[in-house]
Chain A
Amino acid sequence: DSGVTQTPKHLITATGQRVTLRCSPRSGDLSVYWYQQSLDQGLQFLIQYYNGEERAKGNILERFSAQQFPDLHSELNLSSLELGDSALYFCASSVDIRTEAFFGQGTRLTVV
């Protein structure tokens, strides 16, 4: 158990819908990272937060947004879902950007 909790573990939804994925980082970790793993694109960095502020952005679509709350948990919002958004979404956390990151078990999103 990495100490990073992601909910839900599995999510099935229809095209056009909106979903929210939640990540609770390890106690004391200020940095949260979101990644997408799809069959055709592999693992991709989406976005990173540090202590509530957006720190870095990767290949995140405009339909996707995220935030980190004062209690340091983070949410990734995916809207106007398309079939191609079906993927594993991972959250990771670390004390800061220079230290080892720990991954959650992922949320498997299936868009039908």
Chain B
Amino acid sequence: KNEVEQSPQNLTAQEGEFITINCSYSVGISALHWLQQHPGGGIVSLFMLSSGKKKHGRLIATINIQEKHSSLHITASHPRDSAVYICAVSPNFGNEKLTFGTGTRLTIIP
């Protein structure tokens, strides 16, 4: 069993839909990251969080430390949101020794 599990693996939705991607982890962590990888391969860090909730534009990330679970939500989804979303956790400090999930491939259809 992987230390970081993401679901779903693939998600196709219509433009405008509310999107939820889930991440569960089995180890103790100090921080959880959500990353976005575009088809060209580049990776962008979306959120780093250790508790509660963070919001940036149409993106919202939440984490429940007790349940070892995090969700990434996208409101009013748009075709440009199509990408692979990757969850990663750090056992020590924010960016140290990240363990990655296998990613969720999101496709938004116009």
Q: Which residues of A contact B (CB under 8 A)?
A: 2, 31, 33, 35, 42-45, 48, 55-56, 58, 88, 90, 92, 94, 97-103, 105-106, 108
Contact = CB atoms under 8 A, between A and B. Distances in A.
Contacts of B97: 45, 48, 56, 58
A43 B98 CA distance: 9
Interface string B84-110: 001010001111111111110000000
A98 B31 CA distance: 9
Contacts of A108: 41
A74 to B, nearest CB: 15
Contact of A45 (B48, B86, B98, B102): B98
B83 to A, nearest CB: 13
Contacts of B86: 43
Contacts of A105: 40-42
Nearest to B44: A103
Interface of B: 35, 40-45, 48, 86, 88, 92-103
Contacts of A103: 35, 42-45
Contact of B45 (A88, A102, A106): A102
Contact of A106 (B41, B48, B96): B41
Given A56-B97, A97-B95, A97-B96, A42 B103 contact: yes
